[in-house]
């Protein structure tokens, strides 16, 4: 006959095994509620548009809605800080891009977080080139002519950006370095505001977001001299690449991706990564990205991390050389 102690031990064992199974099942059922996707930009722009494309398709695959929460401000810092401070349970994720994640970290005097320490890279989503545009009445019809004009008129060519210390400021500064021209930087709060002054002739040139500037080019208000990506765009097939224009070191594509707080469970990170890559293989998702001038850019988490490290090194040199700081 079994002892009372043995019987109790069996009962405890059964209960413990049951609780373990319940915990495992609960973990396997993630997500059990809506997921918050923090977008560190206002509604209506490229960052918001690509986030909404992803949220809609990803929510269907995960069986839970992905709720967009726009938190713009401070060059993306406000939104990213909300992600960094969230519980690492997979129910808060955020968008990141070259401008707000990498360049801001290089130019800000202080940040409430450290990108390498306080975030979990989950998946790269898209890449997109910038456009180099000039006022439609400006004499320069090519990048070579723009550089020659700027060198012969030191300080008289004004270029706009989305603010001191932003990615578009850094890109303009690099053009000045490579061309040997002395340019005058004019910071704005938004790309459309700068483009408005570019179209009216208040400034002469700027590098800007493809999504924002491309409609202005098609409308004839701005003349595009080059695209910074490695290939021409089907939306503007007559605009040469910056490499074709003689400036291969200006070649760059901005990127957008998804990050979460540090210390997320690896199983959740892997599931999100796998499902996001599956979404990015959908022809309709690809088409909707292309309509915004972006292309989907799936890849491994290791590739995503390497890209972040390489971008930090490349643009860190430009920031240091030009002593660029964020307002």
Please give the class, per CATH, of domain 34-128+253-322.
alpha beta
The CATH 3.40.190.150 domain(s) of the chain lie at 34-128+253-322
Distance between CA atoms of residues 250 and 242, nearest Å: 7
Residue 246 region, left (φ>0) first, then alpha (ψ -120 to 50), else beta?
left
CB 157 within 8 A of CB 198: no
CA distances for 18 relative to 10, 15, 166, 312, angstroms: 12, 5, 54, 48
* Distance between CA atoms of residues 272 and 137, nearest Å: 48
Q: Using an 8 Å Cβ cutoff, are 34 and 67 in contact? A: yes
CATH superfamily for 131-250 is Periplasmic binding protein-like II (3.40.190.10)
Tell me whether residue 7 is exposed, middle or buried, using C-beta atoms within 10 angstroms of its C-beta: 0 to 12, 13 to 18, 19 or more.
Answer: exposed
pLDDT tens string for the chain (327 positions)?
A: 455 545 455 554 545 554 444 444 445 589 999 999 999 988 877 889 999 999 999 999 999 999 999 999 888 999 999 999 999 999 999 999 999 999 999 999 899 999 999 999 999 999 999 999 999 999 999 999 999 999 999 999 999 998 889 999 999 999 999 999 999 999 998 888 999 999 999 999 999 989 889 999 999 999 999 999 999 998 999 999 999 999 999 999 999 999 999 999 999 999 999 999 999 999 999 999 998 889 999 999 999 999 999 999 999 999 999 999 986
List every span in the chain annotated with CATH 3.40.190.10: 131-250
């Amino acid at each position: 006959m079994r002892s009372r102690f043995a019987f109790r031990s069996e009962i405890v064992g059964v209960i413990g095994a049951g609780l373990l199974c319940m915990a495992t099942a609960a973990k396997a059922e993630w997500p059990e509620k809506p997921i918050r996707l923090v977008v560190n930009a206002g509604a209506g722009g490229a960052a918001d548009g690509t986030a909404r494309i992803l949220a809609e398709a990803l929510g269907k695959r995960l069986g839970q809605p992905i709720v967009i929460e726009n938190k713009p401000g401070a060059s993306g810092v406000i939104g990213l800080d909300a992600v960094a401070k969230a519980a690492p349970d997979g129910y808060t994720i955020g968008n990141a891009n070259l401008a707000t994640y990498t360049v801001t970290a290089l130019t800000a005097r202080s940040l409430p977080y450290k990108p390498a320490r306080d975030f979990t890279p989950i998946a790269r989503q898209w890449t997109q080139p910038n456009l180099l545009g000039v006022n439609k009445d400006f004499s320069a019809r090519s990048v070579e002519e723009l550089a020659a004009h700027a060198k012969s008129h030191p300080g008289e060519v004004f270029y706009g950006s989305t603010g001191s210390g932003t990615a578009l400021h850094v890109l303009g500064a690099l053009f000045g370095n490579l061309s040997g021209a002395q340019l005058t930087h004019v910071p704005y709060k938004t790309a459309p505001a700068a483009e408005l002054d570019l179209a009216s002739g208040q400034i002469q040139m700027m590098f800007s977001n493809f999504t924002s500037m491309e409609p202005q080019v098609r409308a004839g208000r701005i003349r595009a001299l080059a695209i910074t990506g490695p290939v021409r765009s089907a939306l503007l097939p007559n605009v040469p690449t910056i490499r074709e224009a003689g400036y291969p070191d200006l070649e760059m594509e901005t990127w957008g991706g998804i990050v979460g707080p540090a210390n997320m469970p690896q199983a959740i990170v892997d599931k999100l990564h796998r499902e996001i890559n599956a979404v990015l293989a959908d022809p309709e998702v690809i088409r909707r990205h292309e309509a915004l001038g972006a292309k989907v850019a799936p890849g491994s988490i290791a590739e995503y991390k390497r890209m972040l490290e390489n971008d930090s090194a490349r643009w860190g040199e430009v920031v240091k050389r030009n002593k660029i700081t964020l307002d």
